[in-house]
Amino acid sequence: MKRIEAVNDFVIKFANVNGSGSASANELFAKAILRMGVPVSPRNIFPSNIQGLPTWYEARVCEKGYEGRRGGVDMMVAMNPQTWDTDMAEIAPGGYLFYDSSRPIPPDRFPEGVHVLGVPLTEIANATYSDTRQRQLFKNIIYVGALSVLLDVEAEVFERLFAEQYRGKERLLDSNVQALHLGRDYVKQHLAAPLGIRVRRADKVGERIFVDGNSAAALGCLYGGATVAAWYPITPSSSVPEAFQKYCEKYRTDPATGQHRFAIVQAEDELASIGVAIGAGWNGARAFTATSGPGISLMAEFLGLAYFAEIPVTVIDVQRGGPSTGMPTRTQQSDLMACAYASHGDTKHVLLLPEDPFECFEFAAAALDLADRLQTPVFVMSDLDIGMNQRLCKPFEWDDSRRYDRGKVMTAEELEAGRDFGRYKDVDGDGIPWRTLPGTHASKGAYFTRGTTRDPYARYSERGPDYLYNMERLLRKFRSAAGLVPQPVTRQAAQPTRFGVIYFGSTSPAMREALDELEAEGVHLDALRLRAFPFPQCVPEFIAAHEKVFVVEQNRDAQMHSMLVNELDVDPSRMVRVLHYDGTPITARFIAGAIRKNMVWHREYA
Amino acid sequence: MTYIAKPRLHHPTLKTNKVGYTRRDYEGRVSTLCAGCGHDSISAAIIQACWELDIEPHRVAKLSGIGCSSKTPDYFLGASHGFNTVHGRMPSVLTGANLANRSLLYLGVSGDGDSASIGLGQFANAMRRGVRMAYIVENNGVYGLTKGQFSATADQGSKSKKGVINSDSPVDLVGIALQLGATYVARSFSGDKEQLVPLIKGAMSHGGAAFIDVISPCVTFNNHGGSTKSYDYVRQHNEAVSRIDFITPGNEITAEYAPGELIEVNNHDGSMLRLRKLHADYDATDRYAALSYMNQRAALGEVVTGLLYIDPLATDLHCALNTSAAPLASMGPEQLCPGSAALQKINAALR
């Protein structure tokens, strides 16, 4: 029988039951591989459920450092009888099945061509522990222990991780180490180890950190100086404000008074969430809300107000599968247009497109600066794949000399000196007006903020010329934004090529892998990673420089493609859509396959 | 729409208050509401109250939703920042503004459509949260700007100017405010300035969520016979449970009252509310009794007005969140950013 042989390059998938405590055991497993110096990128595939439904944890071990989802499963850890048959079907020929052999399973339920490894996990756990909950939790650690021998992961690595996790809780530390060794000892005595797939110590992790995008975005808000956050619980964004709360309690509590330098409100809905954030932004605080697609739909009216009345606000949109309630626990990049053009009338909003947790941190902090600078809503377009999965990324950086860019806020001294204040007047030519904060000056600088039309001095006006002045200025401001947002990152092909590819966000790791793969086959593409909307001048230049440009995105309707055509007036016929939208993260296999297919067509018919 | 600039000339004999402002300094632009609109009387009462309270106009932030009532903040306190938000959502914007800068006073102005129809949820939740503000609903039971449709406070069975009968039962914002935890709840009538001005002063000086429902007849669409929000109806059925005097520190009013008639409420800023009870059986410090009393009287067709409930020890959302005394909006990286050393430690914990 064929046996998959692969060192530091395999996919292992854990099939678990939601709420069984498997998540922390699986994370422990992934962290141990990282400590072996081997990159791993895990993904939670979980249901919209609290307890009982199936959940999976798919970890890709890859020394080359590709963090995109690969597709295919080399080893299945089948801990959920409910999904047994579908799990079996996923295992690649020559792959491995690890299961709990406490209860006999009829031979015809095992797939052919797969190496079966049974460990009586329940039996071992029941013989060792009397408490039901303990039996369940330690069963998870026992399988991690068993796997560690099968995959050749050092026991000391786990012991060190336990020691760090349970510092000061010696009893927990001891019992976890014990459970780990129960699993290890059984495998050593009963099974042949290691397997054809295994981990070998390497040095490919380096200084990188292992973190989820939502925690990173929360940390970006902390460092970027957000003081007011309002939110309504929604998957997959809830952990952004929850992490913000946790970080704030630690880093923003006055040591002398115990008082908080932050205010977080769990509002009654997304309308109130964005309302609170806008109110705080109007009044000079840095504020944000975090939400997902359905929340964006609800916030639309307020976003139009913030655009038109020019109020800074940051929105972290952790995208999930739409439309409607859609696939709440699956990933997509399908809120692009809903955010870019949110609200009725002519509106355009600034979007930042992070590729990983590092950029979630960077862009969250940048969004707070940009919102103040541009006096408008700024979106950080994360998604479930980045937001709710731990990813290996560059360590966070902060320059202590960095100041917050509070934008054009007129001071009491300037007003007192007689400086002319027209709230909606373009005095600098960049379309960005000056603002004053409430309470600044006793007799100067007050104005009435409204969503209705107004003249440059904020006086209500329905005169056509006043309206046009304002709308044209807003466009000018949007053009200014293109130069302030994070600029695209390009990668040149090994040799000059007529082909290009545009991508963004969580597609990044799969794209990198696909480009390497294609390049190895002699298919050369220049690549441009968009990092923000509006598009800077280099984007139309990139498109113009190539005969054919693939636009890779994770939605059905090619939203980014539409935005490129719409905003840049580029010829749509030279753009090829590459669309992945089944809710799973896009893979290199998919991208390379789609591009390859089109290239064949191009060679044969073009 | 035309705008006539109000002449800024002050009569030399105009009285100034303790902070050096005349009453005219609290005015805004010329109102564009219909002549005789109750809302303009409320604006006048707000101007009077702020002047008497010696509030510096720029230390007030005035926020509103959408509708006739929500336009009024343009017509008073011209030196204050104002924010005409979106329909029914003023409470959330005010909440955010308040969280950003607790050193200002917050005045929320809304209407019955804005707070009881489209904005009922935000109204209710702002009361629950105890956002420190004076929240005034200018209640006329009708949509004026869209020409006379019913709002959620319109009485069941009442007839619109176009002849439509309202079959929905009315929302009582006072009842909701009492149930959901507002700590200062009053009802008044736009035509009763003597009652309204001290009520607004009390609300502006209150330490938590203060709500005043002001019945404000719509002269154009809801001032006809059969409307319970017409001038005639309210004048005939107004039943005041109390009269309040607002006493600023060091400005004691020493009037004589019969024993047992008086409740004195001390505010956090040293001011005092002196409540003259007009109904012997009414207790303004008992939330549930207030609710029950109001409902009993409503069944008799009476509109109970005055300060209906007050919690003198009220606290607010900042207190619940334990926010720092300095406004959050005033803080920079020194107060907010943990710095690179802390970040390195965070990084280390993520390896």
Q: Please tell me the predicted confidence (pLDDT) of residue B248.
A: 77
Residue A211: closest C-alpha in chain B: B350
CB pairs under 8 A between A and B: 232
Residue B121: closest C-alpha in chain A: A268
Contact A450 B73 (CB under 8 A): no
Best of A227, A372, A453 to disrupt the B interface (most B CBs within 10 Å) is A227
H or E stretch at B110: strand B105-111
ipTM higher than threshold 0.90: yes
CA A385 to chain centroid: 5
- Across chain A, what does the average pLDDT equal? 96
Mean pLDDT of B202-231: 91
pLDDT value at B246 more than 90: no
CA A184 to chain centroid: 35
Residue B93's nearest CA partner among A602, A456, A289, A157 is: A289
In a domain, B4, yes or no: no
Q: Please tell me the predicted confidence (pLDDT) of residue B280.
A: 77
% of chain A residues with pLDDT over 70:
99
**How many helices (H) and strands (E) would you count in chain A?**
19, 23
Query: Contact A80/A17 with Cβ under 8 angstroms?
Result: yes
Instruction: From chain A, pick out residues whose CB is under 8 angstroms from the CB of B2.
Output: none
H or E stretch at B237: helix B231-237
A326: left (phi over 0), alpha (psi -120 to 50) or beta: left
* Rounded Cα–Cα distance for residues A460 and A452 (Å): 7
The terminus-to-terminus CA distance of chain A in angstroms comes to 45
In a domain, B12, yes or no: no
Contact A272 B121 (CB under 8 A): yes
Q: How confident is the model at residue A231 (pLDDT cuts 50, 70, 90)?
A: very high
The pTM score is 0.96
How many Å lie between the alpha carbon of A182 and the closest alpha carbon of chain B? 26
Best of B31, B58, B64 to disrupt the A interface (most A CBs within 10 Å) is B58
Contact B325 A259 (CB under 8 A): yes
Q: Please tell me the predicted confidence (pLDDT) of residue B254.
A: 53
* Rounded Cα–Cα distance for residues B149 and B112 (Å): 12
Instruction: From chain B, pick out residues whose CB is under 8 angstroms from the CB of A248.
Output: none
pLDDT value at A601 more than 50: yes
Q: How confident is the model at residue A605 (pLDDT cuts 50, 70, 90)?
A: low
* Rounded Cα–Cα distance for residues A493 and A500 (Å): 9
Q: Is B351 on the interface with A (CB under 8 A)?
A: yes
Q: Please tell me the predicted confidence (pLDDT) of residue B1.
A: 40
Give me the residue from B82, B324, B351 closest to A259, CB to CB.
Answer: B324
Q: Please tell me the predicted confidence (pLDDT) of residue B347.
A: 98
Instruction: From chain A, pick out residues whose CB is under 8 angstroms from the CB of B104.
Output: 283, 438-439
Residue B320: closest C-alpha in chain A: A263
In a domain, B341, yes or no: no
Mean pLDDT of B150-170: 88
Over the stretch A267-313, which tens digit does the pLDDT of each residue have? 999 999 999 999 999 999 999 999 999 999 999 999 999 999 999 99
Residue B224 has φ and ψ, to the nearest 5°, of: -95, 170
Task: Count CA within 13 A, CB hemisphere, residue B3.
Answer: 12
Mean pLDDT of B118-142: 96
Over the stretch A51-73, which tens digit does the pLDDT of each residue have? 889 999 999 999 999 999 999 99
Q: How confident is the model at residue A464 (pLDDT cuts 50, 70, 90)?
A: very high
Provide the number of structural domains found in chain B.
Answer: 1
Structural domains of chain A in order of their starting residue, each with its CATH number: 6-198 (3.40.920.10), 211-393 (3.40.50.970), 412-484 (no CATH), 489-605 (3.40.50.920)
Q: Is B115 on the interface with A (CB under 8 A)?
A: no
How many Å lie between the alpha carbon of A555 and the closest alpha carbon of chain B? 32
pLDDT value at B259 more than 70: no
Strand segments (E) across A103-218:
115-119, 197-198, 209-212
- With a CB cutoff of 8 Å and minimum separation 6, the contacts of A585 are A43, A68, A69, A331, A385, A506, A510, A554
Q: How confident is the model at residue B281 (pLDDT cuts 50, 70, 90)?
A: confident
DSSP summary character for residue B323: B
Instruction: From chain A, pick out residues whose CB is under 8 angstroms from the CB of B27.
Output: none
* Rounded Cα–Cα distance for residues B233 and B225 (Å): 8
Contact A447 B103 (CB under 8 A): no
Q: How confident is the model at residue B175 (pLDDT cuts 50, 70, 90)?
A: very high
Q: Is B30 on the interface with A (CB under 8 A)?
A: no
For B50, B242, B249, B256, the CA distances from B274, given in Å and listed in that order, are 18, 10, 13, 12
Query: Whole domain around residue B285: which residue ranges?
Result: 23-333
Q: How confident is the model at residue B300 (pLDDT cuts 50, 70, 90)?
A: confident
**How many helices (H) and strands (E) would you count in chain B?**
12, 13
Q: Residue B194: give its domain's CATH number.
A: 3.40.50.970
Over the stretch A545-588, which tens digit does the pLDDT of each residue have? 999 999 999 999 999 999 999 999 999 999 999 999 999 999 99
Q: How confident is the model at residue A155 (pLDDT cuts 50, 70, 90)?
A: very high
Q: Is A442 on the interface with B (CB under 8 A)?
A: yes
Q: Please tell me the predicted confidence (pLDDT) of residue B252.
A: 54
Contact B329 A448 (CB under 8 A): no
- With a CB cutoff of 8 Å and minimum separation 6, the contacts of B294 are B174, B175, B178, B304, B308
% of chain A residues with pLDDT over 90:
96
Residue A601 has φ and ψ, to the nearest 5°, of: -60, -45
Over the stretch A352-398, which tens digit does the pLDDT of each residue have? 999 999 999 999 999 999 999 999 999 999 999 999 999 999 999 99
Q: Please tell me the predicted confidence (pLDDT) of residue B2.
A: 44
Query: Contact B89/B43 with Cβ under 8 angstroms?
Result: no
Contact A284 B74 (CB under 8 A): no
Give me the residue from A208, A263, A285 closest to B321, CB to CB.
Answer: A263
Instruction: From chain A, pick out residues whose CB is under 8 angstroms from the CB of B96.
Output: 228, 230, 275-283, 285, 287
Residue A273: closest C-alpha in chain B: B92
Q: Is A307 on the interface with B (CB under 8 A)?
A: no
How many Å lie between the alpha carbon of A272 and the closest alpha carbon of chain B? 5
How many Å lie between the alpha carbon of B44 and the closest alpha carbon of chain A? 19
Tokens 């339920």 belong to A109
Q: Please tell me the predicted confidence (pLDDT) of residue B9.
A: 63
Contact A437 B329 (CB under 8 A): yes
Q: How many CB atoms lie within 10 A of CB B208?
A: 23
- Rg, C-alpha atoms of chain B: 21
* Rounded Cα–Cα distance for residues A93 and A114 (Å): 6
Mean pLDDT of B53-61: 97
Mean pLDDT of A73-84: 96
Least confident of A182-186, A590-594, B294-298: B294-298
- With a CB cutoff of 8 Å and minimum separation 6, the contacts of A239 are A212, A214, A215, A218, A387, A388
Cis amide leading into A93 (omega within 30)? no
Mean pLDDT of A171-185: 95
Q: Is A230 on the interface with B (CB under 8 A)?
A: yes
Task: Count CA within 13 A, CB hemisphere, residue A494.
Answer: 10
Contact A259 B329 (CB under 8 A): no
Q: Across-strand partners of B134? A: B107, B210
Contact A279 B322 (CB under 8 A): no
Contact B333 A404 (CB under 8 A): yes
Q: Please tell me the predicted confidence (pLDDT) of residue A98.
A: 98
Contact A275 B3 (CB under 8 A): no
Contact A448 B82 (CB under 8 A): yes
The terminus-to-terminus CA distance of chain B in angstroms comes to 64
Strand segments (E) across A469-596:
489-491, 499-504, 526-530, 532-533, 548-553, 575-579
- Tokens matching residue B57: 């106009």
Over the stretch A322-342, which tens digit does the pLDDT of each residue have? 999 999 999 999 999 999 999
Q: Please tell me the predicted confidence (pLDDT) of residue A579.
A: 98
Over the stretch B81-114, which tens digit does the pLDDT of each residue have? 999 999 999 999 999 999 999 999 999 999 999 9
Mean pLDDT of A191-212: 97
pLDDT value at B8 more than 80: no
Instruction: From chain A, pick out residues whose CB is under 8 angstroms from the CB of B320.
Output: none
Least confident of A166-175, B110-119, B245-254, B319-328: B245-254
Q: Is A252 on the interface with B (CB under 8 A)?
A: yes
167-206 in A: which are within 8 Å (CB) of B? 205
Residue B93: closest C-alpha in chain A: A279
How many Å lie between the alpha carbon of B123 and the closest alpha carbon of chain A? 11
pLDDT value at B277 more than 70: yes
pLDDT value at B11 more than 90: no
- Rg, C-alpha atoms of chain A: 27
Tokens 């049974």 belong to A118
Q: Please tell me the predicted confidence (pLDDT) of residue B144.
A: 86
Q: Is B8 on the interface with A (CB under 8 A)?
A: no
Tokens 């995959």 belong to A151
Instruction: From chain A, pick out residues whose CB is under 8 angstroms from the CB of B329.
Output: 227, 280, 283-285, 437
Q: Is B71 on the interface with A (CB under 8 A)?
A: no
In a domain, B13, yes or no: no
In a domain, B160, yes or no: yes
* Rounded Cα–Cα distance for residues A213 and A210 (Å): 10
Q: Is B346 on the interface with A (CB under 8 A)?
A: yes
Strands B262-266, B272-277: pairing is antiparallel
Q: Is A536 on the interface with B (CB under 8 A)?
A: no
Best of B93, B176, B323 to disrupt the A interface (most A CBs within 10 Å) is B93
Instruction: From chain A, pick out residues whose CB is under 8 angstroms from the CB of B330.
Output: 284
Q: Please tell me the predicted confidence (pLDDT) of residue B250.
A: 61
Give me the residue from B84, B125, B346 closest to A449, CB to CB.
Answer: B84
Q: Across-strand partners of A6? A: A197
- Across chain B, what does the average pLDDT equal? 90
Residue A264: closest C-alpha in chain B: B321
* Rounded Cα–Cα distance for residues A487 and A532 (Å): 7
